[in-house]
Amino acid sequence: SDLQKQEERGELLQPLIFVLLVLCSILLYFKVSLMDPGFVKPEEEVKEGEDKGQGMVIPLIPGDIKLRRCGYCLVKQPMRAKHCQVCQHCVRRYDHHCPWLENCVGERNHPLFIVYLSVQLVVLLWGGHVAWSGLYFEQSREWLQHNILLLVSFLLIFIFTIVVLLLLVSHLYLISCNTTTWEFMSHHRISYLRHSELENPFDQGIILNLWRFFC
C-alpha cells in the first residue's frame, strides 16, 4: 500500500518526530505549571546567616544584611526568595510569575521552564516551515479564499515564534549572569543587591553559572 511505501522511504519519520515533540511540549507545560516552584514552607525556615553559608554568597554579601520575615506569609525568607501575591507563597530563587503557566518560575522548575521554551521553539519553527511550504502566492481573490486559513496560521506561528525566541534568549542571558528576572528588574529595591559592593554578587562566570543552573 501507499502507507507501507512511505514508511519504507522514511517519509513517516518526520511527522512522527513532530508529533512526539508536540506531546513532549504539552507534557512539559503541565509539569512546569503543576510542580512546586520552590515554595518556602514554615517548617523549612532558615536560620539567620544559614543561606550565607553557600559558597557563591559568603565573600560577596555584606555581613549586616539580615534575612527578612515576609510581611504576607510571615516565613523568614531565604536569600533571593520573594513573595508572589498571585500564588500567595514565598518562592526560593524567585524569577517571575508566568501567566502562561499560572505558576511561579523559581528554584525548582526554572530549568524545566527553559527546556519547555526550547522544545516549544522547535515545534513553532517546524510548524512555521510546514505552513510556509504549503503557500504559493497568487494575486487573486480565489487564491486568498483558498489559502486564508493557512496564511493566518503562518502569521500566528510567526508571532508566537518571535515571543518564545525573545523569552528564551533573555532567560539564557540572565542565567549566564546568574541573576533572575526579578533581580534584574528590581535591583535598586533589593537590599542584598543594593548594599553589595558588586553589581551582581552571584556572578561566577558564564560557564560556572550555566553549570550550577542546569547541573
CA dihedral of 58, 61, 66, 70, whole degrees rounded to 10: -100
C-alpha–C-alpha distance, residues 208 and 178, integer Å:
9
Question: How far is residue 205 from each of residues 80, 145, 212, measured CA to CA in Å?
Answer: 19, 55, 11
C-alpha–C-alpha distance, residues 190 and 65, integer Å:
11
**Which residue among the candidates 24, 73, 84, 98 is catalytic per the annotation?**
98
| Phi and psi at residue 85, to the nearest 5° | -75, -15
| Phi and psi at residue 202, to the nearest 5° | -95, -10
Q: 84 forms bridges with which residues in the sheet? A: 89
Q: Let me know if 90 is a catalytic residue.
A: no
Q: Tell me the residue type at 39.
A: F
- For 135, the grid coordinates are 503557500
Q: Would you please indicate which residues are annotated as catalytic (active-site) residues?
A: 98
